[in-house]
Amino acid sequence: MIEKEIRSVQDLLVELEVDNDGYAGSIWYRGQSNKEWPLLPGYLRLEQPPSESTLIKRFKQSAAMLVQNIPNQSFDWLFLMQHYGVPTRLLDWSESPLVALYFAVDEESENHDDAALWLLRPSELNKNAGINNIDEEFFIPSFEDVELENYSVENLAQNQRTQLRPLATIATRNNARIQAQHGVFTIHHHERVPIEEIGNASHVIKYVIPADSRSGIVNQLSLLGYTKFQLFPELSSVGHIIKGGLL
């Protein structure tokens, strides 16, 4: 796996220009506030989690009365749970490197160690899972496609022995937050293997951000318009910004 150090937005742009040169497929990005954290979703980091179907039932029980449009599919419930911080098999990614960089250096994070920004070539990850569309070189399935059937909550509950590799997939951007963040996803199966440990890891690049560079990058991103309100277009963000200006 390739690993590099960046200390500014400019550093990142220079490295991305080099690393993406000649590659025609989609590129996704994910920021993590601790460079040591693996690319493993929250549900699979739990030591003895309840079944996923049990988590969904609990969430439905309390959330159904608060949701305007009740989801019909289990994947839609997973999106909603992920949106509100419940551990799922999903990992959030962005099609924007600067959005991902924002999350890597976010000042509200309780973690102030070296951070990491990950680059992912989604179609290359999917080849490790046997997804390779001969008619479309850089094919990425959506959650409605047949390739995702084996990753559904129902199928996993019925087949505990099969273990498939993680998939990169796209979903309908049906809320303002996922639209603002240019959101896309990877989804794990049963296998508790981080994405960076799959195959020869040629589908990922890790950019390490030293702790003493985080605040400078935050300021640079703010100058470029990457703020809490930009990425979380909600009333709570407005309140947060106004409160911050009073302190």
Look at 158 and 5; give whichever has higher pLDDT: 5
pTM of the model: 0.87
Give 2-22 as a 3 state SS string: EEEECCCHHHHHHHHHHHCCC
Look at 97 and 246; give whichever has higher pLDDT: 97
- Identity at 167, one-letter amino acid code: L
- Identity at 239, one-letter amino acid code: G
Q: What is the pLDDT of residues 118-172, one digit of tens each?
A: 999 999 999 888 876 655 678 788 888 888 888 888 887 776 667 788 999 988 7
Reported as half-sphere exposure (CB side, CA atoms, 13 A), residue 208 has a value of 12
The predicted pLDDT at position 45 comes to: 93
Q: What is the pLDDT of residues 49-83, one digit of tens each?
A: 888 888 888 988 887 777 777 777 778 888 888 88
Nearest to 167 by CA among 182, 147, 138: 147
Lowest mean pLDDT segment, chosen from 1-10, 18-27, 136-145: 136-145
- Mean model confidence pLDDT for the chain: 86
The secondary structure of 173-193 as a DSSP string is --SHHHHHTTEEEEE--S---
The predicted pLDDT at position 109 comes to: 67
Q: Please state, for a pLDDT cut of 70, what percent of the chain lies above it.
A: 89
The secondary structure of 216-231 as a DSSP string is HHHHHHHHTT--HHHH
The predicted pLDDT at position 245 comes to: 59
237-247 mean pLDDT: 59
Q: Say how far apart CA 84 and CA 148 lie, in whole Å.
A: 23
Helix, strand, or coil (residue 164): coil
Which residue ranges make up each domain of the chain? Answer: 2-246
- Identity at 19, one-letter amino acid code: D
Under the banding of pLDDT at 50, 70 and 90, the label for residue 224 is very high
172-191 mean pLDDT: 83
- Identity at 75, one-letter amino acid code: F
Pairing of strands 90-94, 183-187: antiparallel
The predicted pLDDT at position 61 comes to: 86
The predicted pLDDT at position 240 comes to: 61
**Environment class of 107 (CB within 10 Å of its CB; exposed 0-12, middle 13-18, buried 19+):** exposed
The predicted pLDDT at position 48 comes to: 87
Per-residue pLDDT at 247 exceeds 50: no
What number of other Cβ atoms are within 10 A of residue 39's Cβ?
22
**Environment class of 246 (CB within 10 Å of its CB; exposed 0-12, middle 13-18, buried 19+):** exposed
Helix, strand, or coil (residue 208): strand
Per-residue pLDDT at 101 exceeds 90: yes
- Identity at 18, one-letter amino acid code: V
